[in-house]
Amino acid sequence: MKLIVGLGNPGRSYEGTRHNIGFMVVDRLARELGTETLQWKQDAHGKALTARAGEVMLVKPQLFVNNSGIAVRALADMYKLPPEDIWVIHDDIDLPLGKIRIRVQGGSAGHNGVTSILAHVKSDRFVRFRLGIGRGKEDVTQGTRRNLHHRSVIAFVLSRFRQGEAGTMRHLIERGTDAVRGALMEGLDRAMQQYN
């Protein structure tokens, strides 16, 4: 079985934010992989919403992004899954809006949700579908630019996509869904060749 985990924050106030792009992709996967009877349900530990379609378990952790690893570990233990069967879909501020990269192992690149999963799963051998949400920048003096400082990064990832980005966001959700579905059907290597 594959555990397909979309990262995001629970609650209405976070719907549609950049940090919740993982939730948006697994919601679309649920519609495309499932039947009319496929529904999100609270897991046995009360830490995630899950929806199962055959050998695929879709997951939306409900502990906020920074604590996602707790829910992922509980489900991996329950189903006795190795790290290789955990696929994580998350936003990536360092990728341009609309870009997708698939990575099989490595560090967190500063993403707190991935850091939490690394800490709780105790392995880096889970798959990451990194979805570019754009790099926020701010102007400082006389046209020079610098990366947003920590508080501004948080504000950026928790912001909603601007009206001018709506089409790119919808396309990113569609391509992210296609990437995961393609990897399930044709294998990770084929998906990586197509999207990386």
pLDDT value at 68 more than 60: yes
pLDDT of residue 149: 54
The CATH architecture to which 2-195 belongs is: 3-Layer(aba) Sandwich (3.40)
What are the tokens at 129? 């579908």
What are the tokens at 90? 């998350």
pLDDT of residue 46: 86
What are the tokens at 19? 């940090």
pLDDT of residue 143: 40
pLDDT value at 80 more than 90: yes
Q: What is the pLDDT of residues 17-47, one digit of tens each?
A: 999 999 999 999 999 887 666 789 998 888 9
* One-character DSSP codes across 156-172: HHTSBPPGGGHHHHHHH
pLDDT of residue 189: 96
Q: What is the pLDDT of residues 118-147, one digit of tens each?
A: 999 999 999 999 999 986 544 444 343 444
- Report how far Cα 4 is from the mean position of its chain's Cα atoms: 9
Active site residues: 19
